[in-house]
A and B are shown apart, each in its own frame.
Chain A
């Protein structure tokens, strides 16, 4: 492959593009920053001609190494960051078309303050924009990292805190344009291009058709990062969650929702984890005996264990930006953040009265809470939530100075409501027995907290992986998913093998080969080496 304006030889200048937030260090020979779909397709065509593997990157905020390249070319999509237009359907639902490198925070800001660069928009889009007011519409998925790119979120089917009410990213993607491994382009709309049973006829923009057969099984119902396989499925879903192994997303059409007029957040502190779990069950509408029913569904429920709170407290002493964090109450143990929304603020006192009763009945205390009722106050609670992964980043970066093989070791396994308590206690028992540094925080509302292991050396790092593999088996037994939102990427591909089993993994590989015969897309993602050995790349 030749060096050109579009495809450049890798050099030290681009060293920051060899790893994502998980710190999975990769390697690459070339890098490209396409600015539009035509350039993106051109890069992929040239890779296909020369048999060069390529790894797509959005904002590099992934936690499983999905965007860390494993040889070949880095396909960085950060320049494809425009909002391309809008449309409204007959029901009044508004859709926005974006490029994959657009960051969630940019989209949120554009919608919140109605600040769009309308150059190049068609007349219909401008007319739709005229009718909307600032903050009227929002895109619900809420991964902890708002600088994530929309393409990246689709690629790993990110969920985030609000998925308890609104579902994952998949539920909010209406249409996709995807560049396939040979540079051809598919334009797919939910409800229009579907599989017939297990037969796929994928129409391409050049008039050709790609035929394939779906594997004879269905992927887990509990969350679905990784492949999504169903009879009669929408073909857009093949490319959501599959981490750049089936095709590269060049454009997304996102379904927007009416934003709730008022959003409140409440962080409550509990004397132990059992009280916190009881509170979570109550706000989810499944109160323990003797606990009053909470009348309002929560938009998000987040958990922080004592280790997570202690870790942030320690970091507060050394990181100036963290000094604005709220003071924790004395004798804190665990905390739960609940987000509530409503169109009428007049109902808030009643909801808070109900919450007070639930707090008292579950061992909490209405005085030991933080309430946020406007954008600035909510920012503080979200800042607190975000300080946990930020601190993990800082600690992992520090630990890597001793042992460069260390990456973020964060899990996002999910089970159904009936199995969550069992899984939570397995996490705690195994971690307490391990002697490792660990914390548990995350999206408890949807039963996928993030136990994180903060390995200090190679031995601890390997021990962490072994614990994760054991949990993958536990979760598989409970019918859950090994990755609810981060994707398997490279760090968790062995866990994906546990979940799918070798036979199904091979069937998925066969499906991938139909789309990507040379195996150039997303090398190393999802498929572990034993599935790809024998001279064939995944």
Chain B
């Protein structure tokens, strides 16, 4: 079975750091890591490969340094990896990213299954996976909590919904986005890390993909980020102190004041 996994490099912390003295955003010193949700997709791909045989190929689009996370994916069991890197891809929104990934996947040959993390922890959009499936004209199931069975024809999954879970069957090729509850991603072994460090990582540019510059990067993006700001907490914490009786009395008065009871 041929499995592709799409991964992203994200900042290690999604906490916006403000300098306590200058009150400006601190950008330095932030480590980059494999998007935590993608680690579940990689683990699931490696587990399916162990059960069914086949190959796992990882894709990412990013700056040249993003090659590091691809080596990490190889360290935990992927067979090879492709880095899509080109100045022309810079500024891509979710749609432009999906189009570019789709072009690379077509170029590399359509797999049986594509796995993505539910979303990236930096953008939190959860759009690229489903958009990629649409670009490739294959079905997708998002928020997959369990892959119950899979073969080269079809796959049965348990998908989380607002009301609980639904069991769905999908014909392959298909794309699944996975949740954190699907597995516990393994840490690499010493041998795995060394394998990752030595592995060759393929690179593809816009020209390699043969895509129109108008469809990728900032030019190919349907959306623009107008501004970003840190949300200001609008709620205040009130500490109630004293004996249990006094605390209960104060709480009652506060709830009344707020017209909650």
Known: A13-B244, A114-B19, A373-B72. A133 touches B186 (CB 8 A): no
On whether the beta carbons of A136 and B29 are closer than 8 Å, the reply is yes
Known: A113-B15, A133-B29. A356 touches B21 (CB 8 A): no
B17 at the interface (CB under 8 A from A): yes
**Those of A359-418 within 8 Å (CB) of chain B:** 359, 366-377, 380-381
On whether the beta carbons of B17 and A371 are closer than 8 Å, the reply is no
Task: Give the most central of B19, B20, B186, B194: most A CB within 10 Å.
Answer: B20
Total A-B contacts with CB atoms under 8 angstroms apart: 96
Could you say which residues of chain A place their CB within 8 Å of the CB of B12?
374-376
Residue on A with the closest CB to B181?
A323
Could you say which residues of chain A place their CB within 8 Å of the CB of B160?
none
A348 vs B188: C-alpha distance in the bound complex, in angstroms? 14
Residue on B with the closest CB to A127?
B21
**Those of A110-125 within 8 Å (CB) of chain B:** 113-118
On whether the beta carbons of B189 and A324 are closer than 8 Å, the reply is no
A134 at the interface (CB under 8 A from B): yes
B28 at the interface (CB under 8 A from A): yes
Could you say which residues of chain A place their CB within 8 Å of the CB of B18?
115
Interface residue count on the A side (C-beta < 8 Å): 42
B110 at the interface (CB under 8 A from A): no
Could you say which residues of chain B place their CB within 8 Å of the CB of A377?
187
B190 at the interface (CB under 8 A from A): yes
Could you say which residues of chain A place their CB within 8 Å of the CB of B15?
113
Q: How far is the CB of B166 from chain A (nearest CB, A)?
A: 23
**Those of B29-54 within 8 Å (CB) of chain A:** 29-31, 33, 36
Could you say which residues of chain A place their CB within 8 Å of the CB of B19?
114
B243 at the interface (CB under 8 A from A): yes
Indicate with 1 or 0, residue by residue over B74-109, a CB within 8 angstroms of chain A CB atoms.
Answer: 010000000000000000000000000000000000
Task: Give the most central of B191, B192, B198: most A CB within 10 Å.
Answer: B191
Could you say which residues of chain B place their CB within 8 Å of the CB of A129?
20-21
Could you say which residues of chain B place their CB within 8 Å of the CB of A367?
189-192
Could you say which residues of chain B place their CB within 8 Å of the CB of A353?
194
Q: How far is the CB of B246 from chain A (nearest CB, A)?
A: 11
Known: A114-B20, A371-B187. A133 touches B28 (CB 8 A): yes
Known: A13-B243, A116-B20, A118-B21. A133 touches B31 (CB 8 A): no
On whether the beta carbons of A371 and B189 are closer than 8 Å, the reply is yes
A352 vs B18: C-alpha distance in the bound complex, in angstroms? 37
B13 at the interface (CB under 8 A from A): yes
**Those of A226-285 within 8 Å (CB) of chain B:** 266, 268
A355 at the interface (CB under 8 A from B): yes
On whether the beta carbons of B33 and A376 are closer than 8 Å, the reply is yes
A376 vs B191: C-alpha distance in the bound complex, in angstroms? 20
A441 vs B30: C-alpha distance in the bound complex, in angstroms? 33
Residue on A with the closest CB to B247?
A13
Residue on A with the closest CB to B191?
A366
Residue A380 contacts which of B187, B193, B197 (CB distance < 8 angstroms)? Answer: B187
Q: How far is the CB of B163 from chain A (nearest CB, A)?
A: 22
A323 vs B19: C-alpha distance in the bound complex, in angstroms? 36
Residue A370 contacts which of B22, B33, B36, B187 (CB distance < 8 angstroms)? Answer: B187
Q: How far is the CB of B132 from chain A (nearest CB, A)?
A: 25
**Those of A319-375 within 8 Å (CB) of chain B:** 323-327, 348-349, 352-353, 355-356, 359, 366-375
Indicate with 1 or 0, residue by residue over B1-21, a CB within 8 angstroms of chain A CB atoms.
Answer: 000000000001101011111
A113 vs B17: C-alpha distance in the bound complex, in angstroms? 7
On whether the beta carbons of A327 and B190 are closer than 8 Å, the reply is no
Indicate with 1 or 0, residue by residue over B243-257, a CB within 8 angstroms of chain A CB atoms.
Answer: 110000000000000
Q: How far is the CB of A66 from chain B (nearest CB, A)?
A: 28
With A352-B193, A366-B190 known, 20 other A-B pairs at CB within 8 A are: A13-B243, A113-B17, A114-B17, A114-B26, A116-B20, A134-B28, A135-B29, A327-B186, A349-B193, A355-B190, A356-B191, A366-B189, A366-B194, A369-B189, A370-B188, A371-B187, A374-B12, A375-B13, A375-B31, A376-B36
Question: Which 4 A-B pairs have CB atoms at the shortest separation, nearest pair first?
Answer: A370-B187, A366-B190, A366-B191, A369-B190
